[in-house]
Structure 1
Amino acid sequence: MASAAKKQALGRGLSALLKDPENDIKSVDDKNADQVIGNVVELELDSIEVNPFQPRTVFNDEALKELAGSIRELGIIQPITVRKIGFNTFQLVSGERRFRASKLLGKKTIPAYIRIANDQESLEMALVENIQREDLDPIEIALSYQRLIDDVSLTQEKLSERVGKKRSTITNYLRLLKLHPQLQNAMRDGQLSMGHGRALVNVDIEEDQLGLFEKIKNQQLSVRATEQLVKQYKDKDQKTSKGSSASPELPSYISKHVEAIEDYLETAVQVSSSARGKGKIVIPFHSKEDFKRLKKLLSSGE
Structure 2
Amino acid sequence: MSKKKALGKGLSALLEGSELSSSKSLASDTPRTPIGLISLKHIKPNAKQPRQSFDKSALDELAHSIKQFGLIQPVTVRKRSDKVYELISGERRWRAAEMAGLEQIPAYIRETDDDSMLELALIENIQRDDLDPVEIAQSFQRMVEELGLTHEELGQKVSKSRSAVANYLRLLKLPDTIQLALRNRDIS
Task: Provide TM-score, normalisation by structure 1.
Answer: 0.28
TM-score normalized by the length of structure 2: 0.43
The higher radius of gyration belongs to 1
Greater RCO (CA < 8 Å, at least 6 residues apart)? 2
Return the structure number with greater helix share. 1
